[in-house]
Structure 1
Amino acid sequence: MIEIPLARLALALLPLVAVGWLMWKWSGGCGELLLATGRMIAQLLLVGYVLVVLFQVESPWVHLAVVGFMIAVSSWIAIRTVKENRARTYFDALLAIGGGGGVVFLFVIFGVLDLGPRLEARYVIPMAGMIFSNCMTAVTLCAERFDSERANGRELLQARNISWNAALIPQINSFLAVGLVSLPGMMTGQILAGASPLDAVRYQILVMAMILGAVGLSVAVFLIRRVEKS
């Protein structure tokens, strides 16, 4: 893999300067972009150092604790568009992401990858990150669309069906575009690291299947909860 010096890495931020200028000209400010960029850099640097430590820890309980933390945080971020009953909605998101995403996560870890009781961090944490981050985004889309449709007078089941379709659009699009329009991140990373493209393809199929499965189950659980309480 080609090592990227920090000076050249800084060049990758130059396109963001152009985006920031456009935001400033068109919307009157670029503070949100500056904050998001700063957080992105700081969080990735921090997680890089944390992962170095975690990869040296052999306790599966530590790795599962990290997964639990991911679920709790992703559930909180998922409800950021919700204005009312946030505590109740957080529980719904936690149940949806932890339940729907957790089932697929355990199936992949113990069934497909067959890691056994060791639960190696270099597999557990990246897989958990991909599953729960995508579930988080899907639940956010679902919650925002469901509340919007209800506010516009849609019947309960109509709002549910529209929200379900909207939440799955990004994943369905990625299925349709993969290999023709895009080479997904995990596959690209493995190829850049020197893995065989055919081995990278196998992992990418696993990743995309598990993400759509987890997203679908999480959104279904969330919508069932919202319909029951509406």
Structure 2
Amino acid sequence: MNEVAIIPLANLLLGFLPVILLIGIMKLWGLNALQPIYANFRMLIQLLLIGYVLTYIFETDQPIIILLVILFMILMSSWIALRPLQERGIKAFLVVVASLGLSGLAVLFLISQFIVELPRWFEPSFIIPIAGMIFANSMNTVSLAGERLFTEQERGKNY
């Protein structure tokens, strides 16, 4: 794996210039400036934590860890896909898990084994980002299709 890029603190602080500008504008307009400060602090902590987790995952040689991460992606994308829908029971969740899981894993297998031809099927630095893209796209598709189906059923269409 490539070496991690070290970003000097001064360069990192440059990324906060737009935030400081936004907070200044909010103060000028008399708005609550504590909310964006809190949101940015929370974002920074979350990104640091996910950075450490991803560093561990990308350096692992254990296929079980990669499988657990993919399972977590399937479960979370299924749960998020159901949020805008009216029907959210366990049956709907299991249908979405099966749908996202089977289709996403098939696409992931096709890409990793036949298109890119990875030396190890569980190459973390490739599998995790590609799986994230596949399951995020599938999640959006299932959510939009489900929402459309329920809307059409409410209008009296029978499918």
TM-score, normalising length: structure 1: 0.53
Structure 1 position 52, deviation (Å): 0.9
Among 83, 94, 99, the alignment partner of 1:96 is 99
2:72 is matched with 69
Q: 1:155 to 1:104 in 2, by over 3 A?
A: same
Select the structure that is richer in helix.
1
2: distance between equivalents of 1:71 and 1:36? 27
* 1:108 alignment partner, SS class: helix
Structure 1 position 13, deviation (Å): 4.1
Contact 1:60 1:117 in 2 (8 A): no
The structure whose Rg is larger is 2
Aligned positions of 1:31-110 closer than 5 A: 41-110=44-113
Contact 1:101 1:135 in 2 (8 A): yes
1: distance between equivalents of 2:92 and 2:37? 30
Structure 1 position 44, deviation (Å): 3.2
Structure 1 position 128, deviation (Å): 0.6
Q: 1:2 to 1:57 in 2, by over 3 A?
A: closer
Structure 1 position 41, deviation (Å): 4.8
Q: 1:38 to 1:2 in 2, by over 3 A?
A: closer
Structure 1 position 118, deviation (Å): 5.3
Q: 1:129 to 1:38 in 2, by over 3 A?
A: farther
1:128 is matched with 131
Aligned positions of 1:56-205 closer than 5 A: 56-117=59-120, 119-156=122-159
Q: 1:2 to 1:41 in 2, by over 3 A?
A: closer
Answering whether residue 38 of structure 2 is matched by residue 9 of structure 1, we say no
The aligned amino acid for 1:95 is: A
Contact 2:113 2:121 in 1 (8 A): no
TM-score, normalising length: structure 2: 0.75
Q: How many residues align?
A: 146
User: Which blocks of at least 5 consecutive residues in structure 2 are unaligned?
Assistant: none
Contact 2:85 2:146 in 1 (8 A): yes
Contact 1:58 1:118 in 2 (8 A): no
Q: 1:111 to 1:41 in 2, by over 3 A?
A: farther
User: Which blocks of at least 5 consecutive residues in structure 1 are unaligned?
Assistant: 26-30, 157-230
1: distance between equivalents of 2:131 and 2:95? 19
2: distance between equivalents of 1:133 and 1:72? 12
Q: 1:16 to 1:100 in 2, by over 3 A?
A: farther
Contact 2:58 2:124 in 1 (8 A): yes
Q: 1:142 to 1:42 in 2, by over 3 A?
A: farther
Q: 1:43 to 1:78 in 2, by over 3 A?
A: farther
Structure 1 position 126, deviation (Å): 0.6
